[in-house]
Structure 1
Amino acid sequence: MDKRLLTEADIRSKFISPAITAPGKWDLMTQVREEYFFTAGRVIVRGRTVKRGEGKKADYLLLYQPNLPLAVLEAKDNHHSVGDGMQQALAYAEVLDVPFVYSSNGDAFLEHDRTVTKGTVTREIPLDQFPTPDELWTRYCAAKGLTPPQKAIATQDYYDEGSGRSPRYYQRIAINRTVDAIAQGQDRILLVMATGTGKTYTAFQIIWRLWKAKARKRILFLVDRNILADQTKTNDFKPFGKAMTKITNRTVDKAFEIYLCLYQAVTGTEEERNIYKQFSPDFFDLVIIDECHRGSAADDAAWRQVLEYFSSATQIGLTATPKETTDISNIAYFGEPLYIYSLKQGIADGFLAPYK
């Protein structure tokens, strides 16, 4: 068979897919996503006409397990060299935060290892020697320095409601980076995500995975509006069920594991109104602050005292607009953002509508 007569689709179906799904390699049903669209396509408004641009898609996304991608692979027809798809694959891998990158024309694979800082970064691999999921996972863990207990946390499953809903690529990155960072001992984390991009859902999956892995056992989620607390409890956080409570009427029940609370409900000008002191300082081992730009970083903010009181807990700040002034600094408190998904990127990806 003359490969040069075949289309790219033929090269993929006859050579690339069989090579990566050979016995003992990647499971076609659970570990291989073909033509993986990861953006929705920019919303284009012209007068009264609204249409979408084309979304970005990778030829292959290879996952160690659901929501834990390890590799991007771009295919070309046989008129191209084995590495001609590499630049596109690298661009996708950068966006998707994927460590291993491949290109193929059906003759062999070219690999680029993004975890390598010195030594061999790029190598050509024969068609029948494509790495297995375990091989790539082992290399990734070695590069990250993950210990067996840390690996157990990093591989804790996401919550799956059975509807087929999965996180968008940027939510997955924020969730995975946060869980990995906490597994490795980081105790102050800042996530910057534009309004409307699903910060609460992202927070839920972070909490769920850490809670299920028993890496964190008592969690406080602080919001700044009552309606947000109620919506969070009945929507994204609903799977926590009877393990969850909302602190109301300044009363505390220490029998729960997940606590939702308004900033205003746990702070007060009078000492007796500071309900949070009914908890011991080490009661919570994870505190998540929604809209943390609203005051968490101000030294004199009333509820900054809450963060300092629970200083032994891991603390995650969520915001769309980090505040940096001479008096207030989110970054000074939480450190540099672990991940940023901006309004501009959300519009470019088509997950947010542009301004009129």
Structure 2
Amino acid sequence: MATEADARMIIDQLLKDAGWDIFNKAQVSTEESSADGRADYLLKNTRTQPLAIIEAKRFSVDPYSAKAQAKDYAQSLNVPFIILSNGKEHYFWDYIDGGDARPILGIPTQADLERRANLKIHRMGSLQASLDAIPYPVKFRFKGEEIEARPYQLQCLEKADEALIAGRRRMLFEMTTGTGKTLTIAMLMKRWFQSAIISRVLFLADRIELAKQAKETFDDYLRDWPSALLYGGKKSLEGQIVVGTLDTIAGQLGANGFGHGYFDIVVTDECHRSIYNTHRATLAHFDAIHIGLTATPNPGELRWISDHERQLVKSTYLFFDCWDSAKKEGMPTFSYILQEGIRDKFLANYKIYLAESKLTFEGATWEDDEISYGDWGRTAESEDRLKLIIDEYFRIEEERSLARPRKTIAFAVSEKQAVILERLFNKLLPDDACLRIADQLNRSPDQVRQEFAKKITCYSNNGNPKPVIDQFKYDPLPVIAVSVDMLDTGYDHKEIENLVMLRPTKSAIKYAQMCGRGSRLCPRISKTEFLIYDFVDNTENFDDPGMEYHRPKEVSARYGLEQPGEAETDVDTTPPPYPKPKTHEFFV
């Protein structure tokens, strides 16, 4: 029969793995006498002062049951932390102000425990008192401008504070695209840095490009707390904020890597993609406050049509302790959905044009929630079918206000389809529109005809699409970007006014992310709404609540103005004219 001594053999090895010298009594002592008995292990800081006790139990005993006994020892020895272990299961308990004992996968290092203990010394009393001493940000400088905090951002900070004080260690923030998730979490991090709740942060992004964007935000708003972008190799010791991807961090665990207690808070952006397979284990490695950020649509806003995705979202809620089993729904710590942003005039409204021409799915093969471009692709990518769609697009566009060319993203299925779409958009651009746009942009008609549309895929610019992405964002041409998985997420371009759906999907998350590319307001061009052209029935499949766009009855071909008393119009303000091009402005 296994005894407590067997459990202690495993605990000894866990201590060694975490860098503790179990033979050095200045670090680890055993059978330490207290007023109420003997603590199995006493861990000490670098000045040999008590730091934590470990209460060991045999394999058959749930270590959580030893809380009361261990707390007596800890209070008697004046140690701030308790570890409960039977060699197989382990709990960490910051019993003073850290909530209940929580499961951990291993023992923290001496340095990490000592750092956490020092944080307590710098606080102004309890968590509540420390947070109350720090005012919420009302106005602040960001990217060279005076910014006023939005009401929903302050509400998010309040909800996070309340959850922390209530002992929550996992939180989920659902914030729709365009509402500033990264800036909001930076505001929270600064507040918790200042109140000595945290001293080290790990921010995990879905892609390295998004990690770089997040670091730019932190470098600006959190300039007093240095950040480091982690690519690979050795762990970064340069910053209090480490930014990286899950794949990179996963290679930094274990010996000489990040310990279980290295970070005080782990923020996972687009977290619905991370709670599966090995990534879930990577997140669970860290004994930290876990905050998930997601623009995942609330099930009440869009209809789920994928069981796979429904389970994925449920798993996200479960990981962040936000799943209500009785109601069978997620209860995020904070939520701010698209319709709320539109109502509060922080996001652009939108309308949906339900196209007459459709791409059909006969013969389609689906891979999870995305369509496979096999036999269906060869049919759908036929030139005649796509020509019909593009002709309809231009017919509707030319009936709308013509004050300026509208920046547009066309979502395509494949590289092959994108190449055809780029060519057809350029070829079928009406002559009148070509001449008008050339005049509006101070470009030659030839250049407009050649560069009106460009594809942006992983193959663009010899496998380096970033210059083409930047050209679309900062230059007047191209007007249309044909994207294959490049501009669906994490792309911030406020001037996007049209989205063309040529990519079917069963993923409500994917659809919401594509729609989010147009949701940002743009005062420079007086943009308050955008239009979704749906050629694949995505909007109907997800029961999108957006208002349907109806064509004007009569439009002046010359000025793009509706006759009095007719149907809806686009109210546009002509932006400042573009300068004439210099020889170095465009790509050859």
**Secondary structure at the counterpart of residue 186 of structure 2:** helix
Q: For this pair of structures, how many residues does the alignment match?
A: 200
- Which residue is 2:239 aligned to? 256
- Which residue is 1:152 aligned to? 130
CA distance in 2, matches of 1:237, 1:183: 28
**Secondary structure at the counterpart of residue 263 of structure 2:** coil
- Which residue is 2:160 aligned to? 178
Given the alignment of the two structures, is residue 212 of structure 1 paired with residue 191 of structure 2, yes or no? no
| 1:257-296 correspondence runs (5 A) | 257-267=240-250, 274-277=251-254, 278-296=257-275
CA distance in 2, matches of 1:219, 1:351: 29
**Secondary structure at the counterpart of residue 199 of structure 2:** coil
Q: Is the 8 A contact 1:240 1:258 kept in 2?
A: no
CA distance in 2, matches of 1:331, 1:304: 13
Match of 1:196 among 149, 159, 178: 178
Match of 2:293 among 305, 318, 331: 318
The 3 A distance-change label for structure 1 pair 151 and 224 is: same
Given the alignment of the two structures, is residue 244 of structure 1 paired with residue 227 of structure 2, yes or no? yes
Given the alignment of the two structures, is residue 352 of structure 1 paired with residue 347 of structure 2, yes or no? yes
CA distance in 1, matches of 2:217, 2:201: 17
Larger Rg: 2
Q: Is the 8 A contact 1:188 1:315 kept in 2?
A: yes
CA shift, 1:284, in A, is 0.7
Q: TM-score, normalised by structure 2?
A: 0.32
Q: Deviations over 1:52-92 (max 9, x none)?
A: xxxxxxxxxxxxxxxxxxxxxxxxxxxxxxxxxxxxxxxxx
| 1:1-356 correspondence runs (5 A) | 148-158=126-136, 160-161=140-141, 163-241=145-223, 243-267=226-250, 274-277=251-254, 278-296=257-275, 298=276, 300=277, 302-310=278-286, 312-321=287-296, 324-325=310-311, 329-334=315-320, 335=322, 336-355=331-350, 356=531
Q: Is the 8 A contact 2:219 2:226 kept in 1?
A: no
Q: TM-score, normalised by structure 1?
A: 0.52
Q: Is the 8 A contact 1:324 1:330 kept in 2?
A: no
Amino acid at match of 1:338: T
CA shift, 1:152, in A, is 2.0
Q: Is the 8 A contact 1:154 1:176 kept in 2?
A: no
CA distance in 2, matches of 1:258, 1:199: 17
Q: Is the 8 A contact 1:250 1:266 kept in 2?
A: no
CA shift, 1:346, in A, is 1.0
CA distance in 2, matches of 1:154, 1:330: 31
CA distance in 1, matches of 2:313, 2:215: 33
Structure 2 unaligned runs (5+)? 1-124, 298-308, 323-330, 351-530, 532-588
RMSD: 2.3
The 3 A distance-change label for structure 1 pair 149 and 315 is: closer
- Which residue is 2:446 aligned to? none
Amino acid at match of 1:294: R
CA shift, 1:264, in A, is 2.3
CA distance in 2, matches of 1:225, 1:259: 15
CA shift, 1:179, in A, is 2.5
Amino acid at match of 1:288: V
* Percent identity between the two aligned chains: 31
The 3 A distance-change label for structure 1 pair 290 and 346 is: same
CA distance in 2, matches of 1:177, 1:263: 26
CA shift, 1:240, in A, is 3.0
Q: Is the 8 A contact 1:153 1:183 kept in 2?
A: no
CA distance in 2, matches of 1:326, 1:350: 31
The 3 A distance-change label for structure 1 pair 252 and 191 is: same
